[in-house]
Amino acid sequence: MSRIDSALSEASQRLTASYPQRNEQSDTARLDAQILLCHVLEKDNSYLFTWPDKELSHTQLEAFNQLIDQRAKGTPVAYLTGERGFWSLTLKVNPSVLIPRPDTELLVELALNHPLPEQALVADLGTGSGAIALSLAKENPNWKILTVDRFPEPLETAKENAQLNNVNNVEFLLGSWCEPLPDNMDMIVSNPPYIREDDKHLDEGDVQFEPRTALTAGKDGLDDIRLISIQAFQKLKAGGWLLLEHGYDQGETIRDILIGDGYIEARTKQDLALNDRVTLARKP
Ligand SMILES: C[S@@+](CC[C@H](N)C(=O)[O-])C[C@H]1O[C@@H](n2cnc3c(N)ncnc32)[C@H](O)[C@@H]1O
Asked whether the predicted pLDDT for residue 21 surpasses 90, the reply is no
Is the pLDDT assigned to residue 22 strictly greater than 60?
Answer: no
Whether residue 151 has its Cβ less than 6 Å from ligand 1? yes
Which residues is 268 bridged to in the sheet?
A: 279
- Is the CB–ligand 1 distance for residue 191 below 6 Å? yes
User: Which of 21, 24, 57, 1 is closest to 12 using CA atoms?
Assistant: 24
pLDDT at 19: 76
State mean pLDDT over 149-153.
98
- Residue 34's alpha-carbon distances to 47, 73, 243, in angstroms, are 10, 17, 36
Pocket flag, ligand 1, residue 130 (CB < 6 Å): no
Task: Output the DSSP codes for 40-104.
Answer: HHT--HHHHHH-TTPEEPHHHHHHHHHHHHHHHTT--HHHHHTEEEETTEEEE--TTSPPP-GGG
Q: Are 4 and 37 in contact (CB under 8 A)?
A: yes
Distance CA 147, CA 41 (A): 35
Q: Give 189's strand partners.
A: 124, 243
Which is nearest to 237 in space by CA: 284, 192, 191, 190? 284
Ligand 1 atom 5 nearest Cα: 128
Q: Is the CB of 154 under 6 A from ligand 1?
A: yes
Q: Is 6 in the pocket of ligand 1 (CB under 6 A)?
A: no
150 pocket-lining for ligand 1 (C-beta < 6 Å):
yes
Ligand 1 pocket: which of 97, 136, 155 to mutate (most atoms within 8 A of CB): 97
What mean pLDDT comes out for the span 267-280? Answer: 96
**In this structure, what DSSP letter does residue 129 have?**
T
**Cα(154) to centroid(ligand 1), Å:** 8
Pick the CATH number of 83-282 from 3.40.50.150, 3.40.190.10, 3.20.20.220, 3.40.50.1220: 3.40.50.150
User: Where do you find CATH 1.10.8.10 in the chain?
Assistant: 2-74
**At 110, phi and psi to the nearest 5?**
-65, -40
Tell me the per-residue pLDDT of 108-122, one tens digit each, with 9 for 90 and over: 999 999 989 999 999
pLDDT cut 90: percent of the chain above it: 93
Average pLDDT over residues 204-223: 95
Model confidence at 20, pLDDT cuts 50, 70, 90, reads low
In the chain, the DSSP E strands lie at: 2-3, 55-56, 83-86, 89-92, 121-125, 144-149, 170-174, 185-190, 236-245, 264-270, 276-282
In this prediction, residue 4 carries a pLDDT of 96
End-to-end CA distance of the chain: 68
Residue nearest to atom 11 of ligand 1 (CA): 126
Options 1.10.8.10, 3.30.1600.10, 1.20.120.80, 1.10.3210.10; CATH of 2-74 = 1.10.8.10
Q: Average pLDDT of the chain?
A: 95
Answer whether 161 contacts ligand 1 (Cβ < 6 A). Answer: no
Give the C-alpha separation, 17 to 58, whole Å.
24
Residue type, 232: A
Domain(s) of CATH 3.40.50.150: residues in the chain:
83-282
The separation between CA 163 and the C-alpha centre of its own chain, rounded to angstroms, equals 18
Ligand 1 neighbour 147 (Cβ under 6 A): no
Q: How far apart are CA 21 and CA 15, in angstroms?
A: 11
What are the tens digits of pLDDT across the range 24-44?
556 789 999 999 999 999 999
pLDDT of residue 76: 95
